[in-house]
Amino acid sequence: MTNTAETNDDITALILDDHDTFRRGFAALDELQSPDTDPEEPEARLCAVWGPLADLLDVHAVAEERIFYPVLLRKGDSDKSDEGDAVDETLDAIGDHNDIRDATRAAARHRPGSDAWWEAVNQARTENTEHMGEEEDEALADFRRNTTRAQRAELGRKFTEFKAAHTAADLDTSGQDPERYVDEHLADTAETALGGVAGGH
Ligand SMILES: [Fe+2]
Ligand SMILES: [Fe+2]
């Protein structure tokens, strides 16, 4: 357990933890449809599971966009001949986050338990499951290969603080243009690099 405790503040481990929470949240929605579920107040039961799940989907995506992907762009693989470089991984992720956000917003427009609500929730699940697989196999793997444990722990603390300080209600959860996001963060990186050079003289 000591080892686990040591690595638990690694941002890539914290992201995996949230992914597990997502998978279990969607599984809990399945369970609410089982034959032995108490039929009383089905809408309230669905809301009790979906409310926190939808909130975490939104906050998690923004936290990754503020804390994880900017550093992936700076430190991740940059071999342009390889499909899996950090720019490609980030473009994919922001696009996926937008698809997930669209589905959670669609769910918010419908009565929990209605056909339209289930359709939106299932869409969020499908988009999110596909995204998590790619993020885990590509972006998180790239990040671990190219950062130190201390860097990942420092970012993990920021990720935890960000999540503790925010709910979806106080964040801008509108879609991000993937190309603009990458351009802006690469420009920030260039400025930081120039500042570093200037500061060194
Ligand atoms: Fe994620
Ligand atoms: Fe993500």
The 10s digit of each residue's pLDDT in 64-106 is 999 999 999 999 988 755 567 999 999 999 999 999 999 999 9
DSSP letter for 71, please: H
CA 44 to ligand 1 center in whole angstroms: 27
CA 57 to ligand 1 center in whole angstroms: 8
Tokens of 38: 């108490």
pLDDT classification of 32: cutoffs 50, 70, 90: very high
Choose the weakest-confidence range: 39-43, 101-105, 171-175: 39-43
CA 185 to ligand 1 center in whole angstroms: 19
- Average pLDDT of the chain, as a whole number: 91
| Cβ pair 108, 55 in contact under 8 A | no
Q: Is the dihedral of CA 5, 9, 12, 14 positive or negative?
A: positive
**Ligand nearest, relative to CA of residue 127:** 2
CA 81 to ligand 1 center in whole angstroms: 25
| Cβ pair 72, 181 in contact under 8 A | no
CA 57 to ligand 2 center in whole angstroms: 9
What would the DSSP string read from start to end of 164-201?
A: HH--GGGS--S---HHHHHHHHHHHHHHHHHHHHHHT-
How many CA atoms does the CB half-sphere of 44 hold within 13 Å? 4
pTM of the model: 0.90
Provide CB contacts within 8 A for 130, sequence distance 6+: 96
Q: What does the pLDDT average to over 169-182?
A: 95
CA 125 to ligand 1 center in whole angstroms: 13
Return residues with CB closer than 5 A to ligand 1 (ion).
15, 135
CA 200 to ligand 2 center in whole angstroms: 36
CA 170 to chain centre: 17
CA 40 to ligand 1 center in whole angstroms: 34
The 10s digit of each residue's pLDDT in 132-142 is 999 999 999 99
Closest by alpha carbon to 113, among 42, 193, 35, 186?
42
Give the pLDDT score at 159. 98
CA 15 to ligand 1 center in whole angstroms: 6
CA 61 to ligand 1 center in whole angstroms: 6
| Cβ pair 142, 92 in contact under 8 A | no
Provide CB contacts within 8 A for 53, sequence distance 6+: 21, 22, 25, 26, 29
**Ligand nearest, relative to CA of residue 12:** 1
Tokens of 78: 């940059």
Measured distance CA(190)–CA(201) in Å, rounded: 17
Give the pLDDT score at 190. 72
